[in-house]
Amino acid sequence: MKISEIFATKKNIFSFEVFPPKKTSGIETISTKLEAMSNLKPDFISVTYGAGGGGASIYTADMCRSIQDDFHIPSMMHLTCVNSSKETVLERLELMKQYGIENVLALRGDIVPDVPRQTDFMHADELVSFIRENGDFHISGACYPEGHPESDSLTDDILNLKRKVEAGAEHLVSQLFFDNDFFYDFREKAVIAGINVPIEAGIMPVVNKAQIERMVTTCGASLPPKFVKMMTRFENSPEALKDAGIAYAIDQIIDLYSQGVDGVHLYTMNQPEVAERISEAVASIRNA
């Protein structure tokens, strides 16, 4: 099922994101987790794709197919273009058609200094146009409530986002954030700029110390004082940190649904137990 149809018929969309296992692990290592996630009945599950196109990306399409065929949940395949030629992208699109994967999250991908970049696609809007010309897919795009790190300002980034929507992106999924006010401000500015497609809010429950460290060094999301205090207080008590991180995410999600957000995209970090606790906590709210 196309994601645009889901948004047309339902409100309070709730979706999950998972990532492929390491290349050396084999796809079977993820099957139990996919089944557990699917049993929670998210509206769809998206699967990430390494920007290099190699490594674990070989499993992305297989996982999408399994989510749909084995567990009967719509899937969305992430696809990056920073290291891909048009030919490679066409091959991926053909595989998606063969597998019956109808939804694609079209991404540029991060520019990695050690990997020579391809120049067939400079930005995600070019990938969106190319996909539109080469198949009947529902196309989604990424957005950044605090602005993409390469942009000079949020306004510049939103103007570029508009190009992505004009090129054919029918739905946007946001980068994670810990302060909902950034999302509300971004959403308002996007509407003023004429962006009228559904925007899902990306929420990541922070449930262990390694995640906190990664968050501080790489993600670029602002960390509100309440969040920092919580993480500092519980960083050496794994169970308490997990409970606190899950509670924080639930609090964010309830506020988002209360403010009429189109949907929430949960970065599950491949942890069904965390996804389950959050899904249960917001079940009646999603259905209200």
- The least distance separating ligand FAD from the CB of residue 67, rounded to whole angstroms, comes to 15
- The least distance separating ligand FAD from the CB of residue 123, rounded to whole angstroms, comes to 3
Contact (CB, 8 A) for 50 and 81: no
Q: Would you say 234 or 267 has its CB closer to ligand FAD?
A: 267
CA distance 92 to 86: 10
- The least distance separating ligand FAD from the CB of residue 78, rounded to whole angstroms, comes to 3
Angle between helices 180-192 and 154-167 (to 10 degrees): 60
Give, as one character, the DSSP assignment of residue 28: H
- The least distance separating ligand FAD from the CB of residue 253, rounded to whole angstroms, comes to 16
> What is the DSSP annotation of 39-105?
TT--S-EEE---TTSSGGGGGHHHHHHHHHHTT---EEEEEE-TT--HHHHHHHHHHHHHHT--EEE
The helix/strand/coil state of 8 is helix
Active site residues: 17
- The least distance separating ligand FAD from the CB of residue 221, rounded to whole angstroms, comes to 11
Rule CB under 6 A: which residues touch ligand FAD?
48-51, 78, 80, 107-110, 123-125, 142, 148, 150-151, 157, 160, 163-164, 173, 175, 202
Q: Would you say 123 or 132 has its CB closer to ligand FAD?
A: 123
* CA neighbor of 16 nearest in space, from 285, 287, 274, 284: 274
C-alpha 153, offset from chain centre: 22
Q: Would you say 178 or 234 has its CB closer to ligand FAD?
A: 178
Q: Would you say 107 or 230 has its CB closer to ligand FAD?
A: 107
Q: Would you say 80 or 268 has its CB closer to ligand FAD?
A: 80
